[in-house]
Chain A
Amino acid sequence: MLSILLAVLVVLSAARDSHAEKRIGVIMTGDVPYYGAMHAVFVSALKKKFAGDDEIEVILQKPFPNAISWSNAARKLIAFDVDLIVTYGASATQAVLYEKSRIPLVYAGLYDPDQAKVSGKNVTGCGFKVPMSSIIRYFKHLKQIDTLGIVFSSVEEDSVRQYEEMKVLAWQQNIKTEKIDIRSQTGLDQVLAKNADAVFITGSALVHLWIDDILSILRKKQIPAADIFPDDLDSGVLMTLFQPPQAQGQMAADMASQILLGAKPGNILSYTFRDTELVFNLDEARRFGIDFPIQLLIEATKVVK
């Protein structure tokens, strides 16, 4: 019985191998819709590029956002001996780099890649940068901001960089900052404890895992929030300033296809997207008693009513 089962497995495995000429391992720093949108475009663009040629198999990993899970996901893909690894977000990227594998790596969804330590001859990719000063500027047009809460996660390198960047910008404008470090679900109590006139949410996978809970607490405390990840589900963010993920998914697919066709990752220039979309949620504004001036509303690329 066992021998029959083994024989079937061998046949199935051989059948898969004969079709799946290229295997791509993908790791998301967390199960965040922003990375999901990027990945959807990546897969669709890559399939178009290889339509009728080699079949592409994509192995997707969405680990819980912590160091052990990222590391396990990276090791698993290295053990699978995939042809290429694609990562979304800084933490997954760094977990793969830490393993020092010879498998080429393409990253996407990385905040300000020039400042992240992600270089190497087997590495290329794209990321984004959002001008955070704009968030302070728009907040100041809406209400008096003396204290700004910053929600981040100290286990995610790019979230820490965003926290540091926003802290400096706020300080330059005489705005005090309140650090809200989310490392686990119990960390949500900090949101309840801190007082701020507004809150900035960094692009952290861990923070976005509990974004509904965070926004619910903020709403009860009448504190408006801004985010640099899009609020596609209209969870209750007053203002979002984000780089559209589709362009990064498309570029990651372009880079991946070049590498699969023989190009060296080190010869492909990395890229930082700086275009943004600005969304104002008027429903939320009403909830907070905020009146959006018309001259501010016209700046938005989308207004949620």
Chain B
Amino acid sequence: MRCSLAAAHTGLKGIVFCLLMCLVCPLAAPAFAVEPPKQLLIGIEPEHNIFDQMERYRYLASYLTDQLGVEVKLTIMSRYGEVIKRFKSLNLDGAFLTSYTATMAIKELLLDPLVHPVNLSGEMTSQGYVFVRRDSGIGDIKGMRGKSIVFVDPATMEGYLFPLAYFRQHGITDMRREFNRFYFSGSHVSAIFTVLDGRADIGAAKSTVFNKLANDDPSIRQELRIIAQSPKVPEVTLCIRSEIDSDLRAKLTAVLLQMDKTPQGKKVLEKFQTIRFVKSTTADFVKVEEMAREARAAIEEHGK
């Protein structure tokens, strides 16, 4: 009797286990077979001319919608520094991120870097430049002491972290003490114009913006001298949430990488002001992380 009771108890436990599994399994099912989303919401970091930028990205979004069969929508993510916060609050599926925010997003949000564009000059990377007016008499780091400096934004590699790391390597750690004044212009173009006009003695900005302006206006290279250059890193990278359906991710990557091989894709690339997209990897961001570490050390010592 005892045995039969024990057997009945074991049988009951089995039934309860099966019932529980029936309840739990439907909840767990999406983790193993993700439904492809009906829409992909992609964020964009604001550039100097937000209207031109939206126009460029609009063609790309429309092309991707046609090719993927999934609506691709775009949204601007406000300021550089708020990208991580905004990515979460807007429930984004991915974003075109500049090098430092991409590095942070890969680390903190576990995003996957998919592709990055090759610009019309054939560059697939950008560098940080530290520059001065040629007639300023500033030739090196010694001449910079006591002068005014304009950065772009605290969350840009080229426009803040690189110059900070550069100054630290050359013995300047306390910005407040070593410079007469420093401030943030909000855009790379603005930082360049500020130094050209003489509103600041030293500036930092990214090479792609600098070179584009200088190609349009030859007086810029005659008037500005580049004092320091950072290592090259991807300028903008499309990063996607790792939870996005792997088939969709693969398809998205393939469509972008193949764009320069179809007439329609080429037209869209032209509007996007890009030659083609190339594959990105997390290794591309190691240099950025190293620079960020150096810059963070300077910030921790003396504040922003």
Contacts and interface: CB of A to CB of B under 8 A. Distances in A.
Interface in B10-64: 48-49
A245 to B, nearest CB: 15
Given A172-B219, A173-B218, A298-B186, A137 B196 contact: yes
Interface in B200-251: 201, 217-220, 223
Interface in A127-158: 129-131, 133-134, 136-137, 140
A54 interface: no
Among B136, B201, B217, chain A packs the most CB atoms within 10 A around the CB of B217
Interface string B170-190: 000000000000000011011
A299 B219 contact: no
Contacts of B187: 295
A276 interface: yes
Given A137-B217, A173-B217, A293-B49, 11 more contacts: A129-B135, A131-B196, A133-B217, A137-B196, A173-B218, A241-B197, A274-B201, A275-B198, A276-B199, A295-B190, A298-B190
Contacts of B48: 295
A241 B194 CA distance: 12
A129 B198 CA distance: 9
A278 interface: yes
A275 B135 CA distance: 12
A172 B218 contact: yes
Contact of A295 (B189, B197, B223): B189
Nearest to A275: B198
B116 interface: no
B219 A173 contact: yes
Interface string A155-170: 0000000000000010
Contact size range, B: 20 to 34
A274 B220 CA distance: 16
A229 B288 CA distance: 44
A133 B49 contact: no
Contacts of A295: 48-49, 187, 189-190
A301 interface: yes
Contacts of A274: 133, 135-136, 198, 201
Interface in A79-114: none
A140 B220 CA distance: 14
A277 B135 CA distance: 18
Nearest to A273: B198
Nearest to A137: B217
B193 interface: yes
The 4 closest A-B pairs by CB, nearest first: A133-B219, A276-B198, A274-B198, A134-B197
Contact of B199 (A129, A133, A137, A278): A278
Contact of A134 (B49, B148, B186, B193): B193
B196 A133 contact: yes
